[in-house]
């Protein structure tokens, strides 16, 4: 199910650990940085001045502690012309920092950490709304996912960082050498690092291949569903009888498309095997509050998964700098589905097709409860109408 169109091959022998939601993910990253002995290399897209890690430290304080121990710490940040540079500027005197512009309308959107021999790939911004627990009790909460990788695939995360670091649009002298040795195996899982880094678009190619290869089930979470070719891939999978659940923000981002695209996307709802849902947690007042879905995850047939930064829109598929990590391991993928469904539904099921059908049923029931003013649900998921979504 992997592809040959990108910069990086499939690498066997990895250990893979999905990290769901901000407190668990950033907690694990902090532990890795605090134990780092050699390097901490970070790609940053957005950093909020109010961002605090789960233990209360700032991003600057976390990296500064590693600098004080003599660790090679570097930050590669997108320079979009807003406040990102100003927020990072105080740390730049201590931490080598390079800023990288993107083509108009696009972003340097990768969010990766390379900490000694461990790589972290995902979509989490350094955003206070992301640092939340999986129960999503509160207000202004984000749902997001990272994956930790140890083993040969971290070579490619390092190669990407060095390539982008040396090619950053605004920097001082001091280029890095490309890595010269692939790390030893740390597990048994095959992993492939894919990118959107024009002209490379291996993330898009990987998604197309995964949709085409699906035979039983597709579970996806994404911030957007705005790419016509991806919608076409979903249409084909649904026509083959594949059970599909798509989890998107319940309050949809603004679309750039007209009614023809919205009609086509809405027609996905004509298939009884398509289930569209959002997430809502319980606020301090006992009322349901939208949880913003920012994750970029897809699981296929309970055997293959991808986790990363790429959204289903033109930037994520073709124009911005993105990174996804894809892996094939039924045990890990099934465990991730169970973890996500326990969060979103309050339960899971052994069979993936039956679990996705349960997801659709539970989301419909929660939607009916919400519409009648009843906020006592099981789980977080509620149904969305594909025909009216985003209009």
Query: Is residue 148 over pLDDT 60?
Result: yes
**Residue 278: φ, ψ to 5°:** -115, -175
Over 50: is that where the pLDDT of 310 sits?
yes
Q: Which domains does the chain have, with CATH numbers?
A: 11-170+189-383 (3.30.870.10)
What pLDDT was estimated at residue 135? 96
Q: State residue 83's pLDDT score.
A: 47
pLDDT digits (tens, 9 = 90+) for 23-42: 999 999 999 999 999 999 99
Cα–Cα distance measured from residue 330 to residue 335, given in angstroms and rounded to the nearest whole number: 8
Interval 195-225: pLDDT, tens: 999 999 999 999 999 999 999 999 999 999 9
**What are the structure tokens assigned to 323, written together?**
């990174």
CA distances 349 to 126, 246, 345, 356, 359, Å, are 33, 18, 11, 9, 10
For the whole model, what pTM was predicted?
Answer: 0.96
CA-CA distance, 318 to 202, in Å (whole number)?
9
**In contact, 273 and 237? CB cutoff 8 Å:** no
Segment 265-287 mean pLDDT: 97
Establish whether the linkage from the previous residue to 199 is cis, with ω within 30° of 0.
yes
> What pLDDT, on a 0 to 100 scale, did the predictor assign at position 90?
62
Query: What residues are paired with 225 via a beta bridge?
Result: 312
**Which comes out higher in pLDDT, residue 255 or 236?**
236
Please report, rounded to a whole number, the percentage of residues in the chain having pLDDT higher than 90: 89
What's the pLDDT score for residue 256? 84
pLDDT above 70 for 92: no
User: Which tens digits make up the pLDDT trace of 44-88?
Assistant: 999 998 999 999 999 999 999 999 999 999 999 997 755 455 666
Please name which of 124, 386, 142 lies closest in space to residue 245, comparing C-alpha atoms. 386
Q: Supply the mean pLDDT for the chain.
A: 94
Q: Which of residues 130 and 97 earns the better pLDDT score?
A: 130
**Can you tell me the mean pLDDT for 357-368?**
98
Q: Give me the pLDDT at residue 176, please.
A: 94
CA distance 56 to 240: 49
Q: Is the pLDDT of residue 186 over 50?
A: yes
d(CA 308, CA 112): 9
């Amino acid at each position: 199910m992997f592809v040959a169109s990108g910069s990086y091959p499939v690498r066997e022998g990895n250990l893979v650990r999905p990290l769901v939601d901000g407190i668990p993910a950033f907690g694990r990253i902090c532990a890795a940085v605090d134990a780092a002995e050699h390097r901490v290399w970070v790609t940053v897209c957005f950093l909020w001045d109010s961002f605090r890690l789960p233990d209360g430290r700032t991003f600057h304080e976390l990296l500064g502690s590693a600098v004080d121990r003599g660790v090679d710490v570097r930050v590669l940040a997108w320079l979009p012309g807003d406040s990102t540079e100003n927020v990072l500027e105080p740390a730049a005197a201590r931490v080598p920092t390079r800023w990288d512009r993107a083509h108009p309308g696009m972003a340097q959107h990768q969010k990766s950490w390379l900490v000694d021999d461990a790589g972290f790939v995902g979509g989490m911004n350094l955003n206070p709304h992301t640092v939340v627990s999986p129960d999503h009790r509160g207000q202004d909460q984000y749902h997001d996912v990272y994956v930790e990788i140890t083993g040969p695939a971290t070579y490619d995360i390092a190669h990407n960082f060095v390539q982008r670091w040396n090619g950053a649009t605004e920097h001082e002298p001091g280029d890095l050498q490309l890595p010269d040795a692939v790390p030893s195996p740390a597990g048994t899982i095959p992993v492939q690092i894919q990118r959107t880094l024009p002209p490379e678009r291996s993330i898009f190619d990987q998604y197309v291949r995964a949709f085409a290869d699906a035979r039983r089930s597709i579970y996806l979470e994404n911030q957007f569903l705005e790419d016509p070719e991806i919608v076409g891939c979903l249409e084909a999978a649904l026509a083959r009888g594949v059970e599909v659940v798509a989890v998107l923000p319940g309050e949809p981002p603004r679309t750039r498309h007209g009614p023809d695209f919205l009609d086509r996307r809405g027609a996905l709802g004509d298939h009884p095997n398509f289930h569209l849902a959002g997430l809502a947690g319980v606020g301090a007042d006992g009322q349901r509050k939208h949880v913003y879905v920012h994750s970029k995850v897809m699981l296929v047939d309970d055997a293959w998964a991808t986790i990363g930064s790429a959204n289903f829109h033109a930037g994520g598929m073709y124009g911005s700098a993105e990174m996804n990590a894809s892996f094939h391991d039924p045990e890990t993928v099934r465990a991730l589905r169970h973890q996500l469904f326990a969060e979103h539904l309050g339960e899971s099921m052994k069979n993936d097709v039956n679990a996705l059908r349960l997801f659709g049923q539970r989301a419909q029931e929660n939607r009916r409860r919400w519409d009648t003013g009843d906020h006592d649900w099981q789980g977080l998921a509620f149904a969305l109408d594909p025909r009216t979504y985003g209009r």
